[in-house]
């Protein structure tokens, strides 16, 4: 009965009745006081909460800046971007330095773009996340290509995109296999063979699309010289875009089980939850900011390519095929190696081979269509040397992937193949001496 009486009485009455005999209030009395305080001062607490909420937004923004900008050691290279812009306007005789500084300045931006994409992928799931990684991982190459296409530098567009495919398939995948094999030397690492076969088939289809315009041009068997290859390229590009859209539907909707990583169907996602360092909205904002800054630096980079070729005594083909893709693939390179060392080869292949597939089946045809809209004669005739290099590379990688296993020796083989390709382009002279067709 005593408990019922306390429940009916107010706080002040309880204090009057029990205050004289008890030196300290009972736990129930203390809880009642706190409850009364909450209801009594709810207006002031709401104001305090609102002020704390505003402060937390600024604190959250500062934390996001610290995580994305200050936490990564590679961001010590960020000042090279503004230096390239300043040097561009100070003197016209330092195009080589402008090119190098822009190249170095874009490197941390590409890596941070990959980080923001990975953070966003944690909120979207593994399948959409893999697609986001491939898409934003190629954002640097696409931006550079659009700037070069706008300036009529068609050969730079073709060679930079070709170099990105070669870099992903040989250098990125090779380093990932090599690093994963060193971490796990006692056994072969296993990946989803079905997914690798589908991607290899798409890459061979891309080679087919690039080969026929080149063969038409160099055999002089066109109905209208100089026009038939462009018309064929535009038609083939539309077909390749349809094929890539069908591939996305096949991957995301129709045959999702085909692309599920081996042994990860029932994997608990607690580790992924711990890796969420920024919110979904912050990741989207950082993607927007980083893409704009990469776009700005890409303009200065493209403008300085010809001057850098002359001042550094390097062929434009070597700069376009080897140097530019290494910078653009910085994010893929780091993430592919990291996932291979964690024995997640399916994600590694999604990053490296998936990126190559997206460039060959989407970015290249997309540039042809955009060039068509711009009035540029962008086509799929990548010249015989480049087309043959791509064809042999696709065959080598397809044979490496056909067993569904990887080790450090396969990785070493791919890296050595890339060194041969790089040396070949260093001594290669483009038959089209001008940068436009």
Summarised one tens digit per residue, pLDDT across range 329-351 is 776 777 788 888 888 888 888 88
Q: How many residues does the chain have?
A: 437
Domain with residue 330: its CATH number is 1.20.1420.30
Of residues 344, 346, 337, 342, the one with CA closest to residue 411:
337
What is the average per-residue pLDDT within 200-206?
A: 91
Of residues 298, 321, 368, 390, the one with CA closest to residue 110:
298
Ranking 106-110, 129-133, 209-213, 358-362 by mean pLDDT, the lowest is 129-133
CA 226 to CA 357: how far, in whole Å?
A: 28
Residue 241 has pLDDT above 60, yes or no: yes
Residue 17 within a domain: no
Residues 6+ apart with CB under 8 A from 8: none
**Tokens 């030397």 sit on residue:** 185
Residue 272 within a domain: no
**Confidence bin at 365 (pLDDT 50/70/90):** very high
Do the Cβ atoms of 174 and 417 come closer than 8 Å?
yes
Residue 187 within a domain: yes
Ranking 107-116, 143-152, 172-181 by mean pLDDT, the lowest is 107-116
Which residue has better confidence, 42 or 222? 222
Do the Cβ atoms of 114 and 331 come closer than 8 Å?
yes
Residue 310 within a domain: yes
What is the average per-residue pLDDT within 240-249?
A: 89
- How many domains does the chain contain in total? 1
Do the Cβ atoms of 368 and 380 come closer than 8 Å?
yes
What is the average per-residue pLDDT within 414-430?
A: 91
CA 77 to CA 292: how far, in whole Å?
A: 18
Residue 28 has pLDDT above 50, yes or no: no
CA 29 to CA 35: how far, in whole Å?
A: 10
253-286 pLDDT per residue, tens:
755 555 555 554 444 444 444 467 788 888 888 8
Name all contacts of 16-21 with Cβ < 8 Å and 24+ positions apart.
Answer: none
Average pLDDT, the chain: 77
What is the domain range of residue 366?
65-259+277-427
| pLDDT, position 429 | 81
CA 259 to CA 358: how far, in whole Å?
A: 16
C-alpha torsion angle, residues 9, 13, 17, 18 (rounded to 10): 90
- Alpha helices, H only, 139-269: 139-150, 154-166, 173-183, 193-219, 228-249
| pLDDT, position 261 | 52
Residue 88 within a domain: yes
Which residue has better confidence, 334 or 131? 334
Residue 224 has pLDDT above 60, yes or no: yes
Residue 58 has pLDDT above 80, yes or no: no
Residue 125 within a domain: yes
Residue 236 within a domain: yes
14, 36, 39, 83, 196 from 25: Cα distances, Å: 9, 15, 20, 69, 71
Residue 137 within a domain: yes
CA 124 to CA 116: how far, in whole Å?
A: 13
């Amino acid at each position: 009965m005593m408990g019922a009486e306390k429940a009916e009485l107010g706080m002040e009455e309880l204090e009057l009745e029990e205050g004289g005999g008890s030196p300290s209030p009972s736990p129930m009395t203390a809880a009642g006081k706190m409850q009364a305080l909450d209801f009594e001062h709810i207006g002031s607490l709401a104001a305090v909460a609102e002020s704390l909420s505003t402060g937390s937004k600024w604190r959250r923004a500062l934390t996001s800046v610290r995580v994305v900008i200050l936490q990564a050691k590679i961001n010590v290279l960020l000042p090279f971007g503004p230096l390239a812009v300043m040097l561009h306007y100070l003197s016209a005789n330092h195009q080589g330095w402008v090119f190098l500084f822009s190249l170095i300045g874009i490197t941390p931006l590409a890596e941070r773009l990959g980080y923001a994409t990975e953070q966003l992928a944690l909120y979207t799931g593994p399948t959409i996340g893999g697609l986001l990684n491939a898409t934003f991982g190629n954002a640097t190459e696409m931006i550079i290509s659009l700037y070069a296409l706008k300036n009529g530098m068609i050969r730079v567009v073709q060679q930079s995109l070709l170099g990105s495919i070669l870099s992903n398939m040989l250098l990125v995948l090779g380093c990932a296999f090599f690093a994963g094999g060193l971490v796990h030397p006692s056994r072969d690492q296993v990946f989803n063979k079905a997914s690798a076969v589908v991607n290899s088939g798409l890459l061979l289809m891309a080679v087919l699309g690039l080969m026929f315009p080149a063969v038409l041009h160099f055999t002089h068997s066109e109905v209208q010289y100089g026009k038939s290859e462009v018309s064929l390229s535009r038609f083939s590009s539309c077909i390749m875009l349809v094929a890539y859209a069908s591939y996305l539907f096949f991957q995301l909707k129709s045959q999702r089980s085909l692309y599920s990583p081996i042994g990860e169907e029932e994997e608990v996602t607690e580790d992924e939850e711990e890796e969420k360092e920024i919110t979904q909205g912050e990741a989207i904002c950082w993607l927007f900011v980083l893409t704009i800054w990469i776009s700005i630096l890409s303009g200065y980079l493209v403008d300085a390519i010809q001057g850098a070729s002359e001042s550094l005594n390097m062929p434009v083909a070597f700069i376009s095929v080897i140097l530019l893709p290494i910078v653009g693939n910085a994010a893929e390179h780091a993430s592919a190696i990291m996932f291979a060392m964690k024995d997640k080869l399916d994600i590694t292949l999604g990053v490296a081979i998936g990126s190559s597939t997206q460039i060959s089946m989407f970015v290249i045809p997309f540039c042809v269509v955009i060039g068509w809209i711009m009035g540029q004669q962008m086509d799929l005739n990548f010249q015989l040397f480049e087309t043959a290099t791509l064809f042999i590379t696709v065959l080598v990688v397809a044979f490496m992937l056909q067993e569904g296993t990887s080790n450090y020796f396969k990785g070493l083989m791919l890296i050595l193949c890339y060194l041969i390709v790089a040396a070949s382009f260093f001594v290669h002279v483009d038959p089209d001496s001008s940068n436009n067709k």
